[in-house]
Structure 1
């Protein structure tokens, strides 16, 4: 259940935020946020992360669909178990669907979050995907720690 709640919340928040940006900002417009730490700039990315592969946005919608299908298949087979993996996969799938919807409908993704001194522009789906990867990494580290502890207790 946690997987579906997180996935749905990410998808709704992402799409609502993108709708608000597309409705209330002009392309290229910047709005101040929280001091020097965050501001909002409306950008349309027709490529992948870091604006790579511009013009191939619709192909990344296909990749997102394949990723979502793979996660759902692994969940159905019982390969992704536990609250940490539920949360990780929920964030990643919600983000992938959010960006996939933009790519399928518009051929590009609406980005608007600029943190710190710049270096990239993101949206809520991107943040969710990054958080999902971080939680997945935490799961792997925890699993390795438990395995080593179990191995040591046998000796």
Structure 2
């Protein structure tokens, strides 16, 4: 199951980023919900929230290290519950999706923009980021359940 989630997630991430490049790059944002949600092309040359700008090789190396640790941990874990498998699949998917962008373009394609009118903008993100975030949340839940 981990492989199916991984492949579907990577395809979805790839297709949405290609769509963003073809549809949004160099063009005005697409407003989905006025004052709240836009589709807006952004080339993120850093990591989460724009940190480590321009450090492509450092970020790629850290991502590869995280991928190896996660994969080895997954393989070594005897009790592979659905929650554990899903969380690992999503984190791996997101990490690989953004790694592909970094190595291919030198930046990560982001395009989902949530904001509150003009007062607050959450950092623009993509499908891979959603996978990492949801996967991490599920992994935290798994760990908390296992501690009990």
User: TM-score, normalization: structure 1?
Assistant: 0.85
Contact 2:74 2:88 in 1 (8 A): no
Give per-residue Cα distances to partners, 1:50-95, cap 9 Å, x unaligned: 1111111232122112211222212222356211010000000000
Deviation of 1:35 after TM superposition, in Å, equals: 4.2
CA contact (8 A) 1:61 1:99 kept: no
Find out whether 1:30 has 2:29 as its counterpart: yes
For structure 1, the 5+ residue unaligned runs are 148-155
Matches within 5 A, 1:71-110: 71-78=70-77, 81-110=80-109
Q: Secondary structure in 2 aligned to 1:136?
A: helix
CA distance in 1, matches of 2:3, 2:79: 13
2:136 to 133, 137, 142: 133
Task: Give the aligned length.
Answer: 144
Greater Cα shift, 103-112 or 63-72: 63-72
Does 2:126 correspond to 1:123? Answer: yes
1:88-114 Cα shifts (integer Å, max 9, x gaps): 000000000000000011110000001
Residues of 2 paired with 1:28 and 1:102: CA distance? 20
> Distance between the aligned counterparts of 1:99 and 1:80, measured in 2?
29
Is residue 17 of structure 1 aligned with residue 16 of structure 2? Answer: yes
Report the more deviating stretch, 114-123 or 28-37. 28-37
Per-residue CA deviation, residues 106-134 of structure 1 (Å, 9 max, x unaligned), is 11000000123222110000011000011
State the 4+ residue runs in structure 1 displaced beyond 3 angstroms. 34-37
Alignment partner, residue 63 of structure 2: 64
Q: Which has the larger radius of gyration?
A: 1
